[in-house]
Amino acid sequence: MSDKPEREHPGVTIGISGPRRKRMPHRLIALALRLAGAGTLYIRPGARVDVSLLDGLVLSGGTHVHPGRYGQEPEVSAGYDRRRDETDWSLLAQAERLDLPVLGICRGAQLLNVFRGGSLCQDVTPLRVHTRHHPLLLPLQTVRLVNNSLLGRIMPAPSIGANRIHSQAIKVLGRHLRVVAVDNDWFVQGIEHTEGHWVLGVQWHPEYLLYHPGHRHIFSSLVHAAKLRKLARLEGREALA
């Protein structure tokens, strides 16, 4: 047995960006992060947050990203929240400068893509061929994963069940991102960063599926990456995550 003491991970705080009113998904996200050993801070639209005091960030689901962010006019009737768009954009810009681990869920994954110059399909409903488009809170949607990927290492199998609440999807992929999951109609279900640090976007809502270990591990993987990054920063080294 080694005589060297084991390094202790410091406590971490993960920011959860969401709408003005906190709802069940945000409470479930906070629960998942706390179960994985992290503290949380809920961030409402318009809030001024020093992201350097956070160790990771979750961009949660919600209203559609306004199409003006990717150079289009609205093609569907939707309740946009431009203030939240602005807040999430600012949080993500700060997180990227600091190399913080970032998880984007549904809208959050779409915002990650748009932030990096990508675009969205504003309505996937008429484009589905192999699957019917209707909301699924249960994991009844088949999602296929890329094996050699962060998401592929987190999840227990190359094909998983996921839920589906979205009506928009990634169209043109943003810079320094790659597709790591698709559904049976080949709509993008997962993206991640190509340059090494922990940035992951999933189109489904894993917070509703915490009873499944694989979906729960998405949150614990984020917390682990945040702990490694904070430990590296406290020790004066470059981020490991």
Question: Is residue 157 helix, strand or coil?
Answer: coil
Active-site residue, selected from the candidate residues 26, 64, 193, 207: 207
The pLDDT of residue 236 is above 90: no
∠ Cα 37 99 219 (to 5°): 30
In this prediction, residues 107-112 reach a mean pLDDT of 98
3-class DSSP state of 10: coil
Active site residue 106: yes
| Whether the predicted pLDDT of 240 surpasses 60 | no
Mean pLDDT, rounded, for 12-39: 97
Structure tokens at 201: 């976007």
Residue 173: φ, ψ to 5°: -75, 140
Mean pLDDT of the chain: 91
How large is the average pLDDT for residues 137-151? 92
Rounded to an integer, the average pLDDT of 92-118 is 97
- 205 as an active site residue: the answer is yes
Question: Out of 3-7, 24-28, 129-133, 144-148, which region has the weakest mean confidence (pLDDT)?
Answer: 3-7
Q: Which residue is catalytic, options 26, 66, 106, 192? A: 106
